Chain A
């Protein structure tokens, strides 16, 4: 018996142990499931016409600061040492911040769809659904208001349909945690009225619902701060769709077990 197999036999739930500090050590079959999810989300993004980009795991403090991340989530950021000591860096809390950095001070020739996947870090209280380190796939939209809204709506439909294909019980509802900084209740209510953020949740390993995806309209929040404009000189709108890969894995493990989950993901149609 291999070390991995003997370890698996002693684990609660599934071979999906999470350390007290929120680090995940999946077993072999669960790693295959995570890999299969990486592939499916990547394929869906490319099939939808997104341009794939690869970004560093660390991000400059200036970019997070410009995004008002520290005002919104000051306790989530994880600082790292940089080799040249000329600036502060953090482990990236989301991959889309790099997209705004990439497009900073640019004029978009047309509607733009980017996709990226990366390791992300949020120092939330670790538990069986909040990992310190996790993998996020994002599709990020830039363009006019109606284009960004239509993209977000299309992805809501696509992913709810895909979850049904996987036999996964999910719920799509307006989210209550604000992704904008400042006066928290006011921001939250404004976000709620305008339907800026929806979350897709699914029962996780402990039986309670965990968010597996979010669908976000940023309006001009990021594009005005990063000076991304349309050809007419107007600030572009942006939006993003984000998938927490390990969360999908948790929901699938809870509802189907690893072998059935893997089969369903590999056999699913990407609904393009």
Chain B
């Protein structure tokens, strides 16, 4: 289970914050479980084959660039923090 991000902490990077909201309120809507910026997204079947497509589409709209399939690897998608670092907003 992912850790909860509601505790007191330093302000989040705006891209991390936007991604966190998208994942928790859209992709995982209806799920009891919520993720934190450092939660391993692909453990425990949180992200399925439809959710990954929605996440990629969201990132493509935010960055204004198509993401080539060969860049869709664990090193770039492990956590929300990793994604924000590798796919910054335009």
Q: Which of the candidate stretches B2-10, B20-28, B31-39, B72-80 sits at the interface with the other chain?
A: B72-80
Q: Answer yes or no: A192 CB below 8 A from chain B CBs.
A: yes
Chain B residue nearest to A191 in the complex (CB): B49
Q: Could you tell me the distance between the alpha carbons of A219 and B69 in the complex, rounded to whole angstroms?
A: 22
Residue from the list B47, B53, B69 in contact with A192, Cβ < 8 A: B69
Interface residues as binary, B36-53 with A (CB distance below 8 Å gives 1, 0 otherwise): 000000100101111011
> Which residues on the B side are within 8 Å of A195 (C-beta)?
74
Contact A194 B49 (CB under 8 A): no
Q: Could you tell me the distance between the alpha carbons of A189 and B53 in the complex, rounded to whole angstroms?
A: 8
Contact B72 A192 (CB under 8 A): yes
| Docked complex: A175-213 residues within 8 A CB-CB of B | 180, 182-183, 185-190, 192-195
Contact B53 A185 (CB under 8 A): yes
Residue from the list B45, B50, B73, B74 in contact with A186, Cβ < 8 A: B50
Contact B74 A193 (CB under 8 A): yes
Contact B73 A192 (CB under 8 A): yes
Interface residues on B, range: 10 to 19
Contact B73 A190 (CB under 8 A): no
CB of A195 to closest CB in B, whole Å: 6
Contact A183 B77 (CB under 8 A): no
Q: Could you tell me the distance between the alpha carbons of A180 and B52 in the complex, rounded to whole angstroms?
A: 15
Q: Could you tell me the distance between the alpha carbons of A174 and B50 in the complex, rounded to whole angstroms?
A: 21
Given known A194-B74, A195-B74, contact A189–B47 (CB-CB < 8 A): no
User: Can you show 29 pairs from A to B with CB atoms below 8 A apart?
Assistant: A174-B73, A180-B49, A182-B49, A183-B49, A183-B50, A186-B48, A186-B50, A187-B49, A188-B69, A189-B49, A189-B52, A189-B53, A189-B56, A189-B69, A190-B42, A190-B47, A190-B48, A190-B49, A190-B52, A192-B69, A192-B73, A193-B42, A193-B72, A193-B73, A193-B74, A193-B77, A194-B42, A194-B74, A219-B45
Contacts beyond the supplied A186-B50, A189-B56, A194-B74: 19 A-B pairs with Cβ under 8 Å: A180-B49, A183-B49, A183-B50, A183-B53, A186-B48, A186-B53, A187-B49, A189-B53, A189-B72, A190-B42, A190-B48, A192-B69, A192-B73, A193-B42, A193-B52, A193-B72, A193-B73, A194-B42, A219-B45
Interface residues of A (CB under 8 A from B): 174, 180, 182-183, 185-190, 192-195, 219
Interface residues of B (CB under 8 A from A): 42, 45, 47-50, 52-53, 56, 69, 72-74, 77
